[in-house]
Amino acid sequence: MKIVMLGAPGAGKGTQADKIAEKYGLPHISTGDIFRKNIKEGTELGKEAKSYMDAGKLVPDELTVRLLLDRVKNDDCAKGYILDGYPRTIPQAEALDSELAKLGEKIDYAINVEVPDENIITRMSGRRACLKCGATYHLKYVPPKKDGICDECGAELVIRDDDKPETVKNRLSVYHEQTQPLIEYFENKGVLHSVDGTIDVEDVFKAIEQILD
């Protein structure tokens, strides 16, 4: 069972990927984790990726796919895996499909967690973080006991740059331009399934379970 998670930043696809991983015993794979592991271990692919990153360049799609395929050959991927944050563009999806086809494999499910932009802006701009101990809160969903103060260590809570409304709007515009076309791409492949990401987290997961079961 090979799954791709789709959805705008802040839609909650990472949370759902974790839930799928736990229930179905599949590894939750992000390209960021793969890059970090290969660079840390000094593999040939890691060194190649690092050379681009050190030069301030994006890692080419072809190299990213090679890193990804190297990861999914591990024993823990025998039953399948969940890709989160990759592919991000049509060329990446085409490169992935092409390489998987050589192995006689394909993506089985593309799960799109749908959340309107205005919900995402509200959701992300309500996040607060403690830079001292790393605890996270949400003004609406998980508020601190005392406004602006961390429950765990008493430090002041801040809004991260990534969660500021103007940053979120920029990230959403990049998503709509580059990543949203993947919805149609996977729909044409006959593997797209969309779920309403505005409902309770557990209800979103129930909808996903119905698709996968």
Q: What is the DSSP string of the chain?
A: -EEEEE--TTSSHHHHHHHHHHHHT--EEEHHHHHHHHHHHT-HHHHHHHHHHHTTPPPPHHHHHHHHHHHHTSGGGTT-EEEES---SHHHHHHHHHHHHHTT----EEEEEE--HHHHHHHHHTEEEETTT--EEETTTB--SBTTB-TTT-PBEE--GGGSHHHHHHHHHHIIIIITHHHHHHHHTT-EEEEETTS-HHHHHHHHHHHH-
Q: Which residues are catalytic?
A: 13, 88, 127, 160, 171
Strands 136-138 and 28-30: unpaired
pLDDT value, residue 22: 96
Q: How far apart are the first and last CA of the chain?
A: 11
pLDDT value, residue 61: 87
pLDDT value, residue 98: 92
Architecture of the CATH domain 2-27+74-115+170-212:
3-Layer(aba) Sandwich (3.40)
Show the CA angle centred on residue 174, arms to residues 115 and 34, nearest 5°: 90
pLDDT value, residue 182: 96
Dihedral of CA atoms 144, 147, 148, 154 in degrees, nearest 10, equals -60
Per-domain residue ranges for the chain?
A: 2-27+74-115+170-212
pLDDT < 70 stretches in the chain:
none
Q: What is the pTM of this model?
A: 0.84
pLDDT value, residue 97: 94
Exposure string (b/e) for 7-22, b if CB count within 10 Å is 16 or more?
Answer: bbbbbbbbebbebbbe
pLDDT value, residue 56: 86
* Spatial separation of the C-alpha atoms in residues 56 and 50, rounded to whole Å: 10
